[in-house]
Amino acid sequence: DVKVTQSSRYLVKRTGEKVFLECVQDMDHENMFWYRQDPGLGLRLIYFSYDVKMKEKGDIPEGYSVSREKKERFSLILESASTNQTSMYLCASIISGGGVYGQPQHFGDGTRLSIL
């Protein structure tokens, strides 16, 4: 079974801090995604990566950066956290071509981040 693990379930940080959210998957998936989820707005894509050291901006990349140094790990970075980045953050992964061959995305359990 695919396992997508996010390093923290709950995280509280202060405005201006640099925040790292880590995501690890154990199925050798090429594609990894970071979403945020807010009430009334649903899931929105922040960044995704389709290979090591490759990254693509999603729909709301402002204020975020990502790092993919190893295939199994995809990190989301808030360079200088702000209160409007308080949200639920979800990581997901899928095998390359999964959308064509009918594989589902696999999600982590989420990190609920509060910026005070």
Partner 1 sequence: KNEVEQSPQNLTAQEGEFITINCSYSVGISALHWLQQHPGGGIVSLFMLSSGKKKHGRLIATINIQEKHSSLHITASHPRDSAVYICAVRPSGAQKLVFGQGTRLTINP
Task: Summarize as ranges the residues that interact with partner 1 (CB under 8 A).
Answer: 9, 31, 33, 37, 40-45, 48, 50, 58, 88, 90, 92, 99-100, 102-110, 112
Residues 6+ apart with CB under 8 A from 102: none
Of 34, 14, 36, the residue nearest 22 (C-alpha): 34
Least Å distance, CB 107 to partner 1, is 4
- Between 15 and 38, whose beta carbon lies closer to partner 1? 38
Beta bridge partners, 97, equal none
Instruction: Report how far residue 105's alpha carbon sits from residue 103's, in angstroms, rounded to the nearest whole number.
Output: 7
- Between 16 and 99, whose beta carbon lies closer to partner 1? 99
Backbone conformation region of residue 33, classed left if phi is above 0, alpha if psi is from -120 to 50, else beta: beta
- DSSP reduced 3-state for 10: strand
- Between 42 and 69, whose beta carbon lies closer to partner 1? 42
Instruction: Report how far residue 73's alpha carbon sits from residue 26's, in angstroms, rounded to the nearest whole number.
Output: 9
Least Å distance, CB 16 to partner 1, is 26
Least Å distance, CB 1 to partner 1, is 12
Least Å distance, CB 46 to partner 1, is 11
- Between 15 and 41, whose beta carbon lies closer to partner 1? 41
